[in-house]
Structure 1
C-alpha cells in the first residue's frame, strides 16, 4: 500500500491507481454533485464557504450557488439564489443546528457614510442572521456594535458558532483621523442578547487602496469553546473568555483553520515541509483527479499554502492538498474545497485508520 513521500503519491495519482488505502493512508475522494435534470459532476466551480449540516453532511456556497450534500454523499439540494436577496448576498456560513446555519453578509465596502448628515451610504452594513435551510428564510440578528456611526468601515472576515453563540472576526476602521484598523473577535449570542468584544488587536492593511480587499482571516471553535484564528501573518488561539492561549507566526496567502471534536485543528499556511504521511486518491473523474493532483505538489509549489495538522502536543506537516479555499469537519473526515471557476473540486479527506 501507499507509504512514503509525495513523489510516490503523485506517481500513483498519475497512474490512476485503483488499490485500496492502507491503514496508515490519508484518503482523498472527490465528491459528486447531482442536479435535478439528472446530470452529475465532481468537477465544476470553486466553492469558498463550507459548513457541516449536523447530520454528517455539509453545505457549500459559491457566489449565489448553494449545495447540500448528505452523509451518504447524495446531493439533497442545489439551487441558485437571486442576487438581490439576502440569500444571494451571503458572504460567510457556519453550522448551527441540522436545519439552520448562521450567515453573515454585507460590509464589503465603505459601510457607513461619515458625512455631517450621518445618512446611510446605501451599502448594507455587516449583518448577521440565522438561515432556515428548509424554508430558505433568514432571520436577521440585531448587531448595533457593527453599525456604529463613528465607524468608517466594518467587514465580517469570518464567523464560527459554538453552542448558541456566534463568534465573528470583524475588521473595523474608525472615522477618527489617525485611528488604526482593528481585528475584533466578537461574541454574539444568537438569542439577541448584547454582544461582547472578546479580543481586539491592530489590523493594518494599506488604506484606502486595499479597503475593498481586506486581508482574509479564518476562525473556528473547538468543542471546549476554544477560538482558533488564522491571519495572513499569524495563527493564535483564545479561550472562551477571550484570553490568548498561544500565538505563532506564519506566512499565508489565504489563511484557513478547521477544528475537530478531539481538539485537533487543520491549518493552511506557508511552504510545506517534507512528511512521511501517505495518501491515496480514490474514485473521481479524470478531471477531478487531475485537479487534486495539482494540489498535492505542496513542497515545491510557491503558489499554494501548505497543510498541517495541529494537536495539543505537536504539529504534523502534511504534504498534500495545499491551496484550499475552505474546509469543515464532518464526522470522521474533513470536506475541503479546492480549485476555482471551471476546475473546482470538493474533496472528502479521511484520516488514517491507525
Structure 2
C-alpha cells in the first residue's frame, strides 16, 4: 500500500492552533432558544483557506480538508493532526470523505489524477496508507438494470452507516445528460446495492457544466437517507423507498443530519427567519466573517440554510453559502469561506430543541 510523503507544519504553528481565542472580555448571553456559533481555531487568527470537506471522526472530533491540506480536531478542540500531502501523491486531491473510525476515512479518489480510475479507498489518515475497495458490479449481483451498467463513470459524495458506504455515483445516459444513483457498498466485499436512481438535467448544473452537478448525501441513525440535489431535498427509507421530496434551487446543495433526524439543508433563497443565534469565542476576524453570512447577499453562492425536523422546515438566518458540514458529538461543524476567509464553525442547536 503506498505511503504518502507528508509535509508537516512547523511545531510553533501547531502550538498556536491549539490556543483558545477570545474576541473580548465580554461574554455574550446565551439563552435556551439561541443557536450557538463557535469558531474553531486554526490558521492565523483562526482564519485560513476555506475547507471543502468536513467528516466527523466518530469520537466527538472531526477531519477537515481542502486539496492536500488536512486538519484533525479532537472532541476537546485540540489539534490532533495537521499536515499537507505532497502534490502528485494519489491522495493529494481526494474528493469527498466519510469516517469509518477516528483515523480511517472512506475516500472518493475520482479526482486524484487526470488518468485515475474512479473508485473508493479506505485511508489510514495517520500513515496515509490506503486500500482500494473491491469493485463488484451491480450486474454481477443481479441488482439494477444490467443494460445501464457501463462501469464507474464518476463517484461523488459519501456517507457511512453501520460500516457500509453510501455513495453518489454518476452515470451517462444515452441521448440525455446524466443519472445519479445512490449505492450502498459493502466495504469488505465491494458488493453493491442500488437504492435510488434519477435523472439530472444540464439546466441543473449551469455553474458546474461540464462538471458533475453537485449531489450531497447523509444517513441518520435509523438508516434513512437524505439527498440534496440542485433541484430537490429528498428523504429515502433505508431500502431506497422515497419518503419525501421538496423543490429547491441550490448552487451547492448540502445536507447534514444529526442521529435523531434533525437535518440541515443548504439551498434556495432566504426566507424570513425567527431563529436567534449567538457567536461565542473566536477571534474578532472569525466573528466578523461569520456575521457576514447572516445574509446571502453578495455571496458567490447564495444557498440559504434550513432546518428540517420531521416534515417541518424552519429557515435559519446564518451561515449562508457553506462549503461542507457534518454532525459530530452534540453539534454540527460547518466550513465556510474561501481563499483568505475560511472559518470552521461549531454550530450547536438550541438547548430547548433537544
Aligned match of 1:195 in 192, 197, 218? 192
Deviation at 1:142, TM superposition (A): 1.9
Deviation at 1:83, TM superposition (A): 2.3
- Identify if the C-alpha distance between structure 1 residues 341 and 302 changes in structure 2 by more than 3 Å, giving closer, same or farther: closer
Secondary structure of 1:292's aligned partner: helix
Q: How does 1:234-245 map to 2 (within 5 A)?
A: 234-245=232-243
2:124 aligned residue: 132
- Identify if the C-alpha distance between structure 1 residues 277 and 144 changes in structure 2 by more than 3 Å, giving closer, same or farther: same
2:220 matched to 1:222?
yes
Q: Is the 8 A contact 1:156 1:170 kept in 2?
A: yes
Using structure 2 for the length normalisation, give the TM-score.
0.83
Q: Is the 8 A contact 1:158 1:168 kept in 2?
A: yes
2:269 matched to 1:265?
no
2:202 aligned residue: 205
2:70 matched to 1:33?
no
Residues 94-122 of structure 1 deviation map (CA, whole Å, 9 limit, x = unaligned): 1212221111111589xxxxxxxxxxxx7
2:158 aligned residue: 159
Aligned match of 2:115 in 111, 123, 129? 123
Q: Is the 8 A contact 1:271 1:299 kept in 2?
A: no
Aligned match of 1:43 in 42, 47, 60? 47
Secondary structure of 1:289's aligned partner: helix
2:66 aligned residue: 62
2:88 matched to 1:77?
no
Residues 35-93 of structure 1 deviation map (CA, whole Å, 9 limit, x = unaligned): xxxxx541001001010011110000111101000011111111011222222131010
Deviation at 1:205, TM superposition (A): 2.3
Residues 202-246 of structure 1 deviation map (CA, whole Å, 9 limit, x = unaligned): 123279996542111100001111110001011101111111111
Q: Is the 8 A contact 1:225 1:239 kept in 2?
A: yes
Q: Is the 8 A contact 2:95 2:111 kept in 1?
A: no
Deviation at 1:313, TM superposition (A): 4.0
Q: Is the 8 A contact 1:237 1:247 kept in 2?
A: yes
Secondary structure of 1:184's aligned partner: strand
Partner Cα separation in structure 1 for residue 245 and residue 158 of structure 2: 19
- Identify if the C-alpha distance between structure 1 residues 309 and 134 changes in structure 2 by more than 3 Å, giving closer, same or farther: same
Aligned match of 1:24 in 33, 39, 53? 33
Q: Is the 8 A contact 1:47 1:338 kept in 2?
A: yes
Secondary structure of 1:309's aligned partner: strand
Q: Is the 8 A contact 1:58 1:70 kept in 2?
A: yes
Q: Is the 8 A contact 2:134 2:187 kept in 1?
A: no
2:181 matched to 1:172?
no
RMSD between superposed Cα atoms in Å: 2.9
Q: Is the 8 A contact 1:152 1:173 kept in 2?
A: no
Partner Cα separation in structure 1 for residue 206 and residue 298 of structure 2: 35
Q: How does 1:267-286 map to 2 (within 5 A)?
A: 267-286=265-284
- Per mean C-alpha deviation after superposition, the further-off stretch among 251-260 and 98-107 is 98-107
- Identify if the C-alpha distance between structure 1 residues 173 and 59 changes in structure 2 by more than 3 Å, giving closer, same or farther: same
Using structure 1 for the length normalisation, give the TM-score.
0.83
User: Which consecutive unaligned segments of at least 5 residues does structure 2 have?
Assistant: 1-22, 140-145
Partner Cα separation in structure 1 for residue 301 and residue 116 of structure 2: 34
Secondary structure of 1:287's aligned partner: helix
- Per mean C-alpha deviation after superposition, the further-off stretch among 122-131 and 225-234 is 122-131
1:184 aligned residue: 181
